[in-house]
Chains A and B, each alone.
Chain A
């Protein structure tokens, strides 16, 4: 079993596996999103305090979750590659970064559009918002740093160090609403308490989070395939792939 894992972990072996999985994850993402949007817009009731503006939650919270989660996975792969010198790990980290940055941007954007009607301001330098903005800069810095180093192995190592240092920001984002007095509200959903929201609202949010998860897997696998082909362009198998398509 362990031997099989190592075989799949080779770029040329993972390439077709990822290709076969992408349509499945895309379909799951679409199905979860369709169900989540239906529940979010046609089943979940109006919020008695915020009216309809709260419906932004169905993308805001899943995007914010994904922005943090993808960073942890990215840093995990980067660190794994740094420690064990596995070729695919650095490519995995590179494949996740743009999607992580996108979800961070969406969390900030939807947060601004939600903040205006509920707090009266698009932006405030509060601990939660500021640390999420730093997360966006970490993603962009990671992408820029790797892009600036032509040698891919050196780029992987430099990127890994940046990604690992940046991990310290994740607990800061997560606990910012407890550690500091913030305009941003505390967590509505946590592992240790019952959620403080209606069951249908929660269901829509979870469905949208699953959709975001499946989407992230699909697009990062697609990006991984492009990165693999690019990096292995001189290998015989990659040239066969290119001429086959």
Chain B
């Protein structure tokens, strides 16, 4: 798959909202889960 340019890649053939909306939510969920895990571990150790 050759996207040609960064703009084309980001545009996702017109589906940018749906594709990036999905991937961004995954990144956010992982970030939150790891954040809360670290916090609870610190709290238990304190």
A52-B44 contact given A41-B1, A44-B1, A106-B29, CB 8 Å threshold: no
- Asked if A226 and B26 sit within 8 Å, CB to CB, the answer is no
CB distance from B45 to the nearest CB of A (A): 5
Residues of chain B at interface, number, CB under 8 A: 24
Whole-angstrom distance between the Cβ of A36 and the nearest chain B Cβ: 12
Chain A interface residue count, Cβ-Cβ cutoff 8 angstroms: 37
Chain B residues with a Cβ under 8 A of chain A? 1, 3, 9, 12-15, 17-19, 21-23, 25-26, 29-30, 33-34, 37, 40-41, 44-45
Other A-B pairs beyond A41-B1, A56-B19, A230-B44, 13, CB < 8 Å: A52-B12, A53-B13, A55-B12, A59-B22, A59-B23, A98-B33, A99-B33, A106-B25, A106-B29, A110-B22, A113-B17, A116-B18, A241-B45
Report Cα–Cα, A52/B13, bound state, in Å.
Answer: 6
Contacts of A63 in B (CB 8 A): 26
The answer to whether A223 and B37 have CB atoms under 8 Å apart is yes
* Chain A, Cβ-Cβ closest to B44: A229
- When the two chains form their complex, are residues B14 and A51 in contact, meaning their CB atoms are under 8 A apart? yes
Q: Is the pair B33, A102 in contact by a Cβ cutoff of 8 Å?
A: yes
Within 8 Å of chain B (Cβ to Cβ): is A233? yes
B18–A242 CB distance below 8 A: no
A44 CA / B19 CA spacing, docked (Å): 15
Structural contact, B45 and A245, CB atoms closer than 8 A: yes
**What is the distance, in angstroms, from A140's C-beta to the closest C-beta of chain B?**
15
Question: Does A146 touch B at the CB level, under 8 Å?
Answer: no
Q: Are B1 and A43 in contact (CB under 8 A)?
A: yes
The 8 closest A-B pairs by CB, nearest first: A52-B13, A53-B15, A110-B22, A52-B12, A113-B18, A229-B44, A51-B13, A226-B41
Contact B26 A59 (CB under 8 A): yes
Q: Which residues of B contact A245 (CB under 8 A)?
A: 45
